[in-house]
Amino acid sequence: MQKWDDLKFCLALKRYQTMTAAARALGTNTDTVLRRSDRLTEEAGESLFLRDNTQWRATDMGRELAQIALRIEDRISRAAT
């Protein structure tokens, strides 16, 4: 279903809770973060994040995917050291 490249956008949005902060952390722009988030939402078949003013709150599915992404990130990090 997801590739690591897509999942890292989910993880960044979960961590930073704003499109701007997630984009900054990923070295991209907010349009890209939104587009990737929308693509993951479409693939999952349900909302991953809910907007609350400028904050984005992860749904249960969003938290689940972010946990998967975190495990992948940890493994990549360990493999690199």
* Residue pLDDT, tens place only, 18-76: 999 999 999 999 999 999 999 999 999 999 999 999 899 999 999 999 999 999 999 99
- Tell me the pTM: 0.87
* DSSP annotation of 28: S
Cα distances (Å, whole numbers) of residue 14 to 6, 18, 48, 80: 13, 8, 10, 24
Q: Dihedral angle at the C-alpha atoms of 7, 9, 10, 11, nearest 10 degrees?
A: 90
**CATH architecture observed for domain 4-80:** Orthogonal Bundle (1.10)
Q: Where do the structural domains in the chain lie, given as residue ranges?
A: 4-80
Question: Residue 56 corresponds to which tokens in the numbers above?
Answer: 């984005």
